[in-house]
Amino acid sequence: MSNALCPRRLTHSLSVVGIADEGVDGSAQTLSARLWTESQDLAAAALESDFIQGIKNGSLNPNHYGQYTVQDAVYCHRGVEGWRSIASRATQPDFKTFAEARVKGWVSYSQRLFSEWHIADPTAIKLSPAIQAYAEFEANIAQNYDPHYAVVVMLPCDRLWYWLATQIEPDATEPNLYAFWMKENGSSDAGAKRLERFIDAHTDSIDESIALEIYRTAMLGEVNGFRSAGKQTLID
């Protein structure tokens, strides 16, 4: 499993017109920082899930990891149409560049994983209720909301997965079957920082209360995805 493709570590450029690579400065005055701060309860719930703790301790059932990973690839596969919709609706160069990069990354990731797992027809894979609900929520935001909020709905997974990896890697038991997951997801948060910079550069077009509801709902989708994979009861 050490050479397995790591979920969500998408190898595409998220650089967008007018957005600096260094990301936010972490100031509580930025919108992206407030969204993250107001969602710490959900971040903690993700960290405490059996799935993430199993990765930390190397005790996660490989079947649970495999089932989650295949579903994650289907989730990305389904999300491609949403990002294509955003790209077609975008009128600003930075929005179009962002959406096109996301389409490219998700297509590449899902196709590579389908190849590794010998999946010919992703539509034949039934998602768990938790991941199905998350995918439908994200599709609704991507297709029906202002494109600014499509960036907001995607940010939690980028920020959360990096944070989770950095939280569990220092205390991970060695040797650990899932060391690759921690290493790859904790290697850089450059993608999250670029998205945060994007959001903070467009605050005039974003209603913070709407953004927070979208952000927290997406975070809950991540949490319940982990809990579902670990056979835990979902959080309402």
183 found inside a domain: yes
41 found inside a domain: no
Residue bearing the bigger pLDDT, 173 or 186:
186
Q: Which distant-in-sequence residues (6+ apart) come within 8 Å of 177 by Cβ? A: 1, 58, 60, 62
- Read off the CATH number of the domain in which 201 is found: 1.20.910.10
Tell me the pLDDT tens digit for each residue of 77-111: 888 887 888 888 888 887 788 788 878 887 887 78
Number of domain units in the chain:
1
13 found inside a domain: no
Q: Is the pLDDT of residue 19 over 70?
A: no
Quote the domain boundaries for residue 117.
46-229
Task: Count Cβ atoms below 10 Å from residue 3 Cβ, excluding itself.
Answer: 6
pLDDT > 70: percent of the chain:
88
Q: What is the mean pLDDT of residues 34-56?
A: 97
pTM for the full model? 0.86
Predicted local distance difference test score (pLDDT) of residue 106: 77
Predicted local distance difference test score (pLDDT) of residue 7: 57
Q: How far is CA 203 from CA 32, 36, 152, in A?
A: 9, 15, 11
Predicted local distance difference test score (pLDDT) of residue 172: 81
119 found inside a domain: yes
The band of 50, judged by pLDDT with boundaries at 50, 70 and 90, is very high
Residue 121 to residue 22: CA distance in whole angstroms: 39
Secondary structure (3-state) at 113: helix
Predicted local distance difference test score (pLDDT) of residue 52: 97
Which residue type does 179 have?
Answer: A
Q: Is the pLDDT of residue 6 over 70?
A: no
Residue 80 to residue 75: CA distance in whole angstroms: 9
24 found inside a domain: no
Residue 227 to residue 121: CA distance in whole angstroms: 26
Predicted local distance difference test score (pLDDT) of residue 18: 35
35 found inside a domain: no
The band of 154, judged by pLDDT with boundaries at 50, 70 and 90, is confident
Closest CA to 58 of 164, 159, 181, 158: 181
Residue bearing the bigger pLDDT, 236 or 137:
137
Got the DSSP string for 123-188? GGPPPPHHHHHHHHHHHHHHHHS-HHHHHHHHHHHHHHHHHHHHHHGGG--SS-TTHHHHHHHTS-
The band of 27, judged by pLDDT with boundaries at 50, 70 and 90, is low
1 found inside a domain: no
The band of 170, judged by pLDDT with boundaries at 50, 70 and 90, is confident
22 found inside a domain: no
Residues of 212-224 as b/e, b for ≥16 C-beta within 10 angstroms?
A: bebbbbbbbbbbb
